Amino acid sequence: MRSPRQRDQPRRAPGAGPLLSPALRRPAALVVAGCAAVTALLALAFAHQGRPDRLDAAVDSWVRDHLGRYQEPLHLLAGLGGLIPVAALTAALVLGCLAARRWRGAALAALGMLAAITLTEAVLKPLVGRTIGGYPSFPSGHATALFGLAATCAVLLAGPSRPRLPGAVRLALILAAALVAAAVATAVIVLSYHYFTDTVAGTAVGTGTVLLTALLLDRVRPSGTGRPPMP
C-alpha cells in the first residue's frame, strides 16, 4: 500500500522516464556543442573541394596501405552503412523500446536517426559540396548512421531507464557498437568512398544529433502524470 506521501506525488506514465540522468545532461550538451563546432570548421575548410588535404592524404594512404588487401570484409563492413541495414537496425531499436514500453527511447531511435541522416544527406552534402570521384562526400553518411546508432545505444544503455544488466555488460555493448561504427568508417576510407575528414564530420553529426534529440525529448513533459495533489 502506498504511503500518504506517495499518494500525494503525481504518477509517472509507464516508460516515461528521462533518457539522460541530470548528471549526464551537461556533458551531453558539451558534446553536442563540440560536434557542432567540429562539423562547422571542417565544412568551412573543405567546402566545394574535390581533393584531399595533407591530413586526409596522410591518413588515407596509411589506412589503405595497411588494410587494402582485405577488400571482401571491408565491402561487407561498408554495407552495414547502407540504407536497408541502417533502416533495419533502427527499426529493431524502435521495436525493442516499444516492447519494453520505453516511449522516449523509441522516439529517440526514430527521430534522432531520421534527423541525423536528413541533416547529412539533404542539408550538409549539397551545402558543403565536397566531392570524391565526382560524388558528394561530406559528411560521410555511413559514419553518420553508424555513430548515430552507437550514440542511441549508449543513451539507452546508460540512462535512468536502462535495462537491468550488469554495468560491465552494458559498457561492453556500448563499446562494441562504437567499434563497429569505427570499423565501418575505416572501411569507407579504404574503399575510397570518403576522405578521413568526411568520416570525422559524419561521426560528429551522428553523435551530436542523437544527443541533442535526447536532450530535447527530456524537456517534453510526459502525459498521464496525474493530477496535482489537493491542498
Question: Residue 44 and residue 103: Cα distance in Å, rounded?
Answer: 38
Domain of 112 in residue numbering reads as 22-47+71-218
Instruction: Please tell me which residue, 166 or 137, carries the higher pLDDT value.
Output: 137
Q: Is residue 63 part of a domain?
A: no
Map grid coordinates 551531453 to a residue.
Answer: 28
Q: Is residue 6 part of a domain?
A: no
pLDDT at 226 over 80: no
Give the per-residue pLDDT at 163: 80
pLDDT at 231 over 80: no
Give the per-residue pLDDT at 193: 96
Model confidence at 62, pLDDT cuts 50, 70, 90, reads very high
Which has the closest alpha carbon to 15: 225, 211, 227, 228?
225
Average pLDDT over residues 135-159: 96
Which has the closest alpha carbon to 201: 42, 55, 77?
42
Share of the chain above pLDDT 90, in %: 81
Question: Residue 28 and residue 20: Cα distance in Å, rounded?
Answer: 9
Give the per-residue pLDDT at 17: 81
Determine which of 16-30, 112-126, 173-187 has the lowest per-residue pLDDT on average. 16-30
Q: Is residue 95 part of a domain?
A: yes
Q: Is residue 52 part of a domain?
A: no
Find the Cα–Cα–Cα–Cα dihedral 103, 108, 110, 114, rounded to 10°.
160
Map grid coordinates 534522432 to a residue.
Answer: 112
Q: Is residue 3 part of a domain?
A: no
Average pLDDT over residues 85-89: 96
Model confidence at 10, pLDDT cuts 50, 70, 90, reads very low
What pLDDT digit, counting tens, does each position of 167-210 carry? Answer: 899 999 999 999 999 999 999 999 999 999 999 999 999 999 99
Q: Is residue 12 part of a domain?
A: no
Q: Is residue 7 part of a domain?
A: no
Number of domains in the chain: 1
The reported pTM is 0.88
Model confidence at 93, pLDDT cuts 50, 70, 90, reads very high
